[in-house]
Amino acid sequence: MYNRSMMRILSVLWLLAAAAATALCGDDAEATKLYEEGRKLYLDGAYYKAGKIFAEAEETAESNAVKANSLLAQIGAWRMCELYYREFKAIEKILTLYPEYADFATLVNREYELGDEYSRGKRDPAYWALRFIPWLVEEDHSEEILKRALERAPFSPFGPRAHLRLAYIYDQAGKVRDSIDQLREIVRDYPNSEQHKYAMLALAEGLLELSRRGDGDGAYIREAADVLARFKERYPDSEEDDWVRRKLLESKDIQAQRIYDMAEFYRKSGRKEAAERYLAKVVSEYPESLPAARSEEELVELDKSFLPGDFRPDPESRLPKIVAYPLPREAQRILIAPGGDHHNLVPIYDLKRKEPEAPAPAEVGDGSAAPDAPAAPDGKTATPEDGK
């Protein structure tokens, strides 16, 4: 009895499996038919219709192989249509669901390329039928694409540039802290990249901006000073050296002003000893800062036993250095020589410029030749006697 019951159960399971296999084969057959139809459209140049057919084939198919092939075909069709966000979604789908059928390195590099395209202004048309209207486009997807590419391959050769682009996107959106986080990753993880130098400069400027808004424990300004010092050590002969020097002075001014404000608070509160300590700290640790002179003056008033140092030199200039170059001397009388394709314009001459005077011709009979004297037949310079 038991064996008969088991046989009946196994028979039912076998019938169900056979029905499922039949349905599976039917779905894959239909998907393959759709795939071939889309392939013909693709070869005929109807890429948008082909992409729609490939998407339908992917939904119809049951086996992973057919679905993956349909997704790969979609990637090619959407790329030809320049519908890059749809291409990105197809790449993400095959990398997530069917990674065994995907060329990981090629597809992730393509995601980086798509992120670059969007960050340079590429936008997909909102409606394919109205794609000729330039302002009827979808939103910017550069942040989403670049973040996803960095999650999949953070140490790709495209990684530093992606972080730098994200930092710019966040900065433009007013997300200064998010922008700084991206710059920190470049400085920390990509020290030999081309973007490292510019990331350090942008990071220092961002930290200075945060310190100007309010820096409770002084962490931002200390990090900014550290980044600027490391930049001078890493790039001693850079073109930005003057900018870095001025920013270092500014960072010392901010740190000194922060300590000076604390000293003022204690002075007004009647805590003379604490005020003296902070004022002395400004004078000793930041002597080249702008608040140093005021701190020394107040310290003399608070502590009569304090002896100021020698005459304090003028603080170093915080203004940029401007190099003045002399105007080039005129090489010829022509001031402007207009021209270009299919133009025949008259040159403009400098009428005020004096031509150099020609040397006076030598007197006849003094034994020397005139400047433009013709050569004699024997190769010697002709003289008046030769013409007699």
Annotated domain spans of the chain: 14-131, 157-238, 242-310
Q: What's the CA gap between 315 and 65, in Å, rounded?
A: 73
Q: State the Cα angle at 35 between 30 and 36, rounded to 5°.
A: 100
Domain 157-238 coded CATH 1.10.3470? no
Burial of residue 106 (CB within 10 Å: 0-12, 13-18, 19+) is exposed
Backbone angles phi, psi at 299, to 5 degrees: -65, -35
* Per-residue pLDDT, 321: 77
Which tens digit of pLDDT belongs to each residue from 249-297? Answer: 999 999 999 999 999 999 889 898 899 889 989 988 888 888 988 888 8
Select from 280, 288, 200, 301 the least CA-distant residue to 250. Answer: 288
Which tens digit of pLDDT belongs to each residue from 158-188? Answer: 999 999 999 999 999 989 999 999 999 999 9
Q: What's the CA gap between 83 and 124, in Å, rounded?
A: 6
Band (381; pLDDT cuts 50, 70, 90):
very low
Q: Do domains 14-131 and 157-238 have the same CATH topology?
A: yes
- Paired sense of beta strands 334-336 and 348-349, if any: antiparallel
Q: What's the CA gap between 317 and 208, in Å, rounded?
A: 18
Which residue, chain included where needed, has tokens 């930092």?
A: 167
Task: Give the rounded percent of residues in the chain with a pLDDT score beyond 90.
Answer: 55
List the single range of 56-65, 98-107, 145-154, 283-292 with lowest mean pLDDT.
283-292
Band (337; pLDDT cuts 50, 70, 90):
low
**233 torsion bin: left (phi>0), alpha (psi -120 to 50), beta (else):** alpha
Q: 14-131, what's its fold?
A: 1.25.40
Band (83; pLDDT cuts 50, 70, 90):
very high
HSE value, Cβ hemisphere, 13 Å, CA-based, for 3: 0
DSSP state of 355: P
* Per-residue pLDDT, 313: 65
In order of 16, 17, 18, the CA distances from 5 in angstroms are 17, 18, 20
Tokens coding 155: 């140490």
In order of 47, 90, 139, 169, 258, the CA distances from 124 in angstroms are 15, 15, 8, 19, 50
